[in-house]
């Protein structure tokens, strides 16, 4: 079964088409890069797929659930992480995990065993009882990702998850993403870093609300006869009429 | 339900780990009560008085000893002359002075009438009036004792009674006002800040993407502050009763019920503010300017509403704390029952419902 299916998905604000009839499928377990300049409509499209707003026209299902009628079910089956990491600084590491686990309705016993597992795989046993405020940024980011997939969602949405993090940590972070994908979680990720785009199975590039290109990084480079994703992105985004907001 | 519980527990972690919030929550009410109860007292007590006694006879000394025993006055070192009195007025050492002319006692015997001069610092006219009244009554009491047998043919003796506050305990009036103020701070300001903080942190986004319903987010935010407000309320009542000797005349159940109603009004206001502001500072400022100032000025607990210009009086009708203030004053101090405050209660309930409705509706719109 496909993780995400979009057909002619459109979101219009007055005369302005933020998302202009986009269509694409995402396979289960795939790492799907969702690229586009600021203002291209990525966030709007992602909000619809996360069940935060309704499309104006078109169809879409996420984890098999309809974005018009089954928002609640979508929300139960997805995880979400943004560049702000969204952990509570004055809660300890374990309390953060407990809170998000609780919000997603994970049972108390499961929370206990899984958080123990999680803390040991991250190698954060000593920090488990400490406030998150004192953690280095890279660890916060890894923790935030672990929290986003703590309830074992089918799809995880990552909105520019590596903003402001150094390259080494970013690399480690992508290792975690690969692990999650290997475990069968579909990863839908937006990013500004073209080296990260290369890590994706497939990427789509949005320009002015439309998906202008969609393929594996290798074939896209071939198509635009260049050897860097930067160049691909630049050639596509150059034609954009909307200014970045 | 379990989700809600996890959320509420998290809110309490936030509160109890933030020193500033704790200080506002528990330090503020205590400081307010002590400030209003003792420092800002409008009662006249222990007022400095200097006496220039040029007579030094039995009568002048009798009067002086009576002033001495009165709780209203504190007799300072005897004045050495008018210059001395003037200097001490300027220094603030005394608020009034009493001058006996030479031959005060002999005048009294010989001519059957003597004069005494009261000088009061009228830069604070209310206090000055009260002081001269006190002095007058001390002197006239003494005068009556001098002529116990003398009977005036017609005499009207006014008897005064200060209803609902027989001892004229000045702390009574402000307690309901302080309670309203605290509710505004805890329920409105702290709640709005708590919601806006999640927006600033970016955690609100995560919560909205989660299956946790938006309305539950608001409930989870409101419940802890409702509980904390009630704790504050109990602290204030206990302080009022045991520290300031306030007697609670009405039904405690009614007082609590009305307070919960008012807290819900404040919470709704807080949620509304959090909907229209994007930063914690803006939320705080809006709560302070929009809610606390009107509570201080327009509820009638610091400045009588009747003396205000018409526009202010009209404006006071939309201040929720005004109604709460008059309800609590009626129930707590006068011991009145629900039948006397149902109108105010109805208005408050209407405000609470309206505000809550707008807050919830707005919150939904903000999602998309």
Query: Above 70 in pLDDT, residue B245?
Result: yes
**Closest CB from B3, B17, B203 relative to A102:** B3
Q: Cβ contacts of residue A153 below 8 Å, gap of 6+?
A: A77, A78, A79, A185
Interchain CB contact of A56 with B (< 8 Å): no
Residue of A102, A130, A155, A160 to mutate for B, most B C-beta atoms under 10 A: A102
Q: Would you call B18 and A90 a contact, using CB atoms and an 8 Å cutoff?
A: yes
Shortest CA distance from A83: residue in chain B: B202
- On the 0-12 / 13-18 / 19+ scale of CB atoms within 10 A, B81 is exposed
Query: Above 90 in pLDDT, residue B155?
Result: no
Strand partners, A6: A24, A60
Q: Which helix (H) or strand (E) holds A148?
A: helix A137-148
Could you give the 3-state DSSP secondary structure of residue A3? Answer: strand
Q: For domain A2-237, give the CATH number.
A: 3.40.50.300
Chain B neighbors of A68, CB-CB under 8 A: none
Chain A neighbors of B210, CB-CB under 8 A: 75, 80, 100, 103-104
Exposure of B318 in the CB half-sphere (CA atoms within 13 A):
9
* Structure confidence at residue B168 (pLDDT): 58
Extract the runs of DSSP E, i.e. beta strands, from B7-162. 47-53, 73-75, 96-100, 117-120
* Structure confidence at residue B164 (pLDDT): 66
Maximum Cα–Cα distance across chain B: 98
For residue B158, CA distances in Å to A114, B149, B155, B161, B218 come to 82, 21, 10, 10, 59
Interchain CB contact of A105 with B (< 8 Å): yes
**Closest CB from A72, A90, A91 relative to B211:** A72
Confidence band of B171 (pLDDT split at 50, 70, 90): low
Interchain CB contact of A182 with B (< 8 Å): no
Q: A50 or B305: which carries more pLDDT confidence?
A: A50
Interchain CB contact of B208 with A (< 8 Å): yes
Shortest CA distance from B214: residue in chain A: A52
Chain B neighbors of A103, CB-CB under 8 A: 3, 6-7, 207, 210-212
Confidence band of B1 (pLDDT split at 50, 70, 90): confident
CATH superfamily of B47-146: abc type-2 transporter like domain (3.40.1710.10)
- On the 0-12 / 13-18 / 19+ scale of CB atoms within 10 A, B74 is middle
* Structure confidence at residue B42 (pLDDT): 58
Evaluate the CA torsion angle A171, A172, A173, A175 in order and state its sign. Answer: positive
Start-end of H helices in B35-124: 58-69, 82-91, 104-111
The CA distance from B169 to B246, in Å, is 8
ipTM computed for the complex? 0.84
Q: Would you call B202 and A88 a contact, using CB atoms and an 8 Å cutoff?
A: no
| A25: its two tokens | 């499928």
Q: Would you call A86 and B203 a contact, using CB atoms and an 8 Å cutoff?
A: yes
Looking at the complex, report in whole angstroms how far the Cα of residue B264 sits from the nearest Cα belonging to chain A.
25
Interchain CB contact of A157 with B (< 8 Å): yes
Interchain CB contact of A84 with B (< 8 Å): yes
Structural domain boundaries in chain A:
2-237
Contact indicator for B199, B70 with CB cutoff of 8 Å: no
DSSP class of A56 = S
Contact indicator for A161, A82 with CB cutoff of 8 Å: yes
Residue of B14, B209, B367 to mutate for A, most A C-beta atoms under 10 A: B209
Query: Above 60 in pLDDT, residue B331?
Result: yes
Burial track B237-247 (b if 16+ CB lie within 10 A, e otherwise):
bebbeeebebe
Between A82-96, B43-57, B139-153, B270-284, the lowest mean confidence (pLDDT) is in B139-153
The CA distance from A36 to A20, in Å, is 14
Chain B neighbors of A75, CB-CB under 8 A: 209-211
Shortest CA distance from B217: residue in chain A: A103
Strand partners, B275: none
Contact indicator for A194, A187 with CB cutoff of 8 Å: no
* Structure confidence at residue A50 (pLDDT): 92
The CA distance from A150 to A168, in Å, is 24
Q: Would you call A102 and B7 a contact, using CB atoms and an 8 Å cutoff?
A: yes
Between B9-18, B71-80, B260-269, the lowest mean confidence (pLDDT) is in B71-80
The CA distance from B345 to B295, in Å, is 17
Query: Above 80 in pLDDT, residue B173?
Result: no
Region B236-259 average pLDDT:
89
Chain A, chain B: beta-carbon pairs less than 8 Å apart: 78
Chain A neighbors of B9, CB-CB under 8 A: 99
Q: Would you call A104 and B211 a contact, using CB atoms and an 8 Å cutoff?
A: yes
Q: Would you call A75 and B210 a contact, using CB atoms and an 8 Å cutoff?
A: yes
Confidence band of B276 (pLDDT split at 50, 70, 90): confident
CATH 3.40.1710.10 domain span(s) along chain B: 47-146
Query: Above 60 in pLDDT, residue B368?
Result: no
* Structure confidence at residue B364 (pLDDT): 63
For residue A196, CA distances in Å to A82, A186, A232 come to 16, 16, 14
Query: Above 50 in pLDDT, residue B70?
Result: yes
**Closest CB from A84, A85, A103 relative to B212:** A103
Interchain CB contact of A226 with B (< 8 Å): no
Could you give the 3-state DSSP secondary structure of residue B242? Answer: helix
Supply φ then ψ for residue A204, to 5 degrees: -120, 145
Looking at the complex, report in whole angstroms how far the Cα of residue B161 sits from the nearest Cα belonging to chain A.
56
Q: List, run by run, the mean pLDDT of 10-residue segments along chain A (245 residues).
A: 92 91 93 89 91 92 94 92 84 92 90 92 88 87 92 93 84 92 94 87 92 91 88 84 61
Looking at the complex, report in whole angstroms how far the Cα of residue B342 sits from the nearest Cα belonging to chain A.
41
Q: Would you call A86 and B10 a contact, using CB atoms and an 8 Å cutoff?
A: no
Supply φ then ψ for residue B337, to 5 degrees: -95, -175
With tokens 């017609």, the residue in question is: B154
Contact indicator for B179, B306 with CB cutoff of 8 Å: no
Query: Above 80 in pLDDT, residue B254?
Result: yes
Contact indicator for B228, B263 with CB cutoff of 8 Å: no
Q: B246 or B164: which carries more pLDDT confidence?
A: B246
């Amino acid at each position: 079964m496909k993780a995400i299916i979009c057909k002619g998905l459109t979101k219009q604000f007055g005369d302005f088409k933020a998302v202009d009839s986009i269509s694409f499928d995402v396979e289960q377990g795939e790492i799907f890069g969702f690229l586009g300049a600021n203002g291209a409509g990525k966030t709007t499209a992602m909000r619809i797929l996360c069940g935060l707003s309704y499309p104006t026209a078109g169809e879409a299902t996420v984890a098999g659930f309809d974005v018009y009628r089954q928002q609640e079910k979508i929300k139960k089956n997805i995880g979400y992480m943004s560049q702000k990491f969204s952990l509570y600084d004055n809660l300890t590491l374990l309390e953060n995990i407990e809170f998000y686990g609780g919000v997603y309705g994970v049972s108390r016993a499961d929370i206990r065993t899984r958080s123990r597992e999680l803390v040991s795989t991250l190698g954060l046993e000593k920090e488990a009882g400490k406030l998150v405020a004192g953690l280095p940024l890279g660890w916060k980011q890894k923790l935030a990702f672990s929290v986003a997939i703590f309830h074992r969602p089918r799809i995880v949405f990552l909105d520019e998850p590596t903003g402001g993090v150094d390259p080494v940590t970013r690399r480690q972070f992508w290792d975690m993403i690969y692990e999650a994908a290997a475990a069968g979680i579909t990863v839908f990720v937006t990013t500004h870093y073209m080296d990260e785009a290369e890590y994706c199975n497939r990427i789509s590039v949005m320009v002015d609300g439309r998906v202008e290109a969609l393929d594996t990084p290798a074939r896209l480079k071939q198509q635009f006869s260049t050897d860097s994703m930067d160049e691909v992105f630049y050639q596509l985004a150059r034609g954009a009429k909307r200014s970045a907001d | 339900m379990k989700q809600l519980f996890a959320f509420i527990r998290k809110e309490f972690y936030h509160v109890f780990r933030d020193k500033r919030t704790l200080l506002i929550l528990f330090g503020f009410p205590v400081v307010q009560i002590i400030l209003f109860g003792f420092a800002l007292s409008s009662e006249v007590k222990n007022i400095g008085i200097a006496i220039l006694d040029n007579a030094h006879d039995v009568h002048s000394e009798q009067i002086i000893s009576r002033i001495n025993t009165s709780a209203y006055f504190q007799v300072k070192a005897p004045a050495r002359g008018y210059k001395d009195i003037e200097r001490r007025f300027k220094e603030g050492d005394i608020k009034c002075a009493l001058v006996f002319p030479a031959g005060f006692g002999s005048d009294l015997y010989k001519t059957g009438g003597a004069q005494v001069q009261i000088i009061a610092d009228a830069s604070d006219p209310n206090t000055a009036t009260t002081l001269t009244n006190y002095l007058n009554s001390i002197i006239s009491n003494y005068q009556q004792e001098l002529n116990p047998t003398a009977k005036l043919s017609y005499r009207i003796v006014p008897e005064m009674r200060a209803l609902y506050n027989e001892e004229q305990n000045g702390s009574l009036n402000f307690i309901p006002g302080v309670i309203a103020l605290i509710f505004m701070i805890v329920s409105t300001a702290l709640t709005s800040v708590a919601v806006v903080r999640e927006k600033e942190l970016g955690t609100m986004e995560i919560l909205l993407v989660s299956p946790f319903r938006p309305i539950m987010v608001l409930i989870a935010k409101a419940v802890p502050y409702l509980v904390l407000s009630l704790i504050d309320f109990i602290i204030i009542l206990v302080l009022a009763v045991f520290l300031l000797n306030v007697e609670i005349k009405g039904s405690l159940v009614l007082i609590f019920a009305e307070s919960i109603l008012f807290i819900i009004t404040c919470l709704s206001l807080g949620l509304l503010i959090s909907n229209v502001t994007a930063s914690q500072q803006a939320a705080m400022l809006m709560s302070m300017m929009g809610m606390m100032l009107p509570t201080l000025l327009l509820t009638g607990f610091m400045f009588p509403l009747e003396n205000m210009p018409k526009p202010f009086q009209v404006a006071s009708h939309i201040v929720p704390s005004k109604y709460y203030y008059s309800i609590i004053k009626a129930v707590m101090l006068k011991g009145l029952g629900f039948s006397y405050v149902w109108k105010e209660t109805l208005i408050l309930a209407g405000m609470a419902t309206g505000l809550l409705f707008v807050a919830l509706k707005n919150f939904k719109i903000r999602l998309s």
